[in-house]
Amino acid sequence: MAEIVFKEESYRIMGACFEVYKSLGCGFLEAVYQESLEIEMSIQVLPFCVNSPLSLSYKGHTLKQRYVPDFICFDKIVVELKAVKEIDDLHRAQVHNYLKASGHKLGLIVNFGHNPSVEYERIVR
């Protein structure tokens, strides 16, 4: 049986996400969920950084362009928020790229636009 990567940390992150969804429900813009999740993570004392730019390089050259994931939690988990009908392959590719750029092993896509509950996926690098 394979070990779940960062099980306890991701459980705590998702607990905060479920609490936000329980309070707000479906239908708000992504920015509303992000701000609410910042507050909830602070209340639950979860370590996080918001919109921390990730450096990119091409053939040894640092690019001016940056990736900006919604959250980096516990200094090792990328959390990308969505407020869409369903998670699709473009969202998955975005998180894969964030993981490559950051060197982190785990990404969570959290979709607040899904009804009747939060939809989420774990992406392990």
Tokens representing residue 109 in the block: 């896509």
Q: Is residue 110 a contact partner of residue 120, using CB atoms and an 8 Å limit? A: yes
The pLDDT tens digits for 83-111 are 999 999 999 999 999 999 999 999 999 99
| Cα–Cα distance measured from residue 122 to residue 119, given in angstroms and rounded to the nearest whole number | 11
Give a yes or no: residue 76 inside a domain: yes
Tokens representing residue 88 in the block: 């699709």
What backbone torsions phi and psi does residue 90 show, to the nearest 5 degrees?
-65, -40
The pLDDT tens digits for 12-42 are 999 999 999 999 999 999 999 999 999 999 9
Domain that holds residue 19: 7-124
Give a yes or no: residue 1 inside a domain: no
Give a yes or no: residue 2 inside a domain: no
Give a yes or no: residue 74 inside a domain: yes
pLDDT for 120:
97
Assign residue 33 the CATH number of its domain: 3.90.320.10
Give a yes or no: residue 115 inside a domain: yes
pLDDT for 3:
85
Q: How many domains does the chain have?
A: 1
Give a yes or no: residue 43 inside a domain: yes
| Cα–Cα distance measured from residue 24 to residue 125, given in angstroms and rounded to the nearest whole number | 31
Single pTM value for the model: 0.93
Q: Is 47 helix (H, G, I), strand (E, B) or coil?
A: coil
Residues 6+ apart with CB under 8 A from 7: none
